[in-house]
Structure 1
Amino acid sequence: MPDRQSIYAKVVEMIAPFNKKGVSITEATRFAQDLEWDSLTVLDFVANVEDEFDVIISMNMQAEIETVGQLVDALQRLQDGK
């Protein structure tokens, strides 16, 4: 089971191709506001994350995730629940 730091590192790596503005990524980076992602970008990114971590991120969960740190926490919970 990956630890939180390795999940965070992988998420940051996966954000890179979508980070068109070159925003510095931290736990507090917000997907909509800081990275300025539209809904299509979010869908592409979520699909990649689901494939990489072999999890399903529900629409309700997606609605609650605004920052990189929140995504890492959610992924950790999903992985722990396997």
Structure 2
Amino acid sequence: MTDRAQVYARIIELIEPLNPKKVALTEDTSFAGDLEMDSLTVMDLVASMEDEWDIVMPLNMLPDLETVGQVADAVTRLVTK
């Protein structure tokens, strides 16, 4: 069983290589505003998460996921289905 704390910690690890400015990563860190990720980088991150947990993140879900915490919540829901 994967709990949210484990999911959150792993997401932080997956973001690190995509965070060249070394922005501090918190629950409220936003992908567009704080990390300045473009859509291609976001899709790379999504692919990494899908591979990590063997899940599929519906594309219609992505626009609602603006922060690291929101992504952790969404992945946790998908993993524990």
- Specify every segment of 5 or more residues in structure 2 that has no aligned partner in the other structure, as ranges: none
Runs (4 or more) in structure 1 with deviation over 3 Å come to: none
Cα-Cα RMSD: 0.6
Aligned partner of 2:22 in structure 1 is: 22
Deviations 1:20-58 (A, max 9, x none): 111000000000110000011011111111100111011
Q: How many residue pairs were aligned?
A: 81
Q: CA deviation at 1:73?
A: 0.3
Does the aligned pair in 1 maintain the 2:2–2:80 contact within 8 Å?
no
Aligned partner of 1:78 in structure 2 is: 78
- Specify every segment of 5 or more residues in structure 1 that has no aligned partner in the other structure, as ranges: none
Question: What TM-score, normalized by structure 1, do the two folds share?
Answer: 0.95
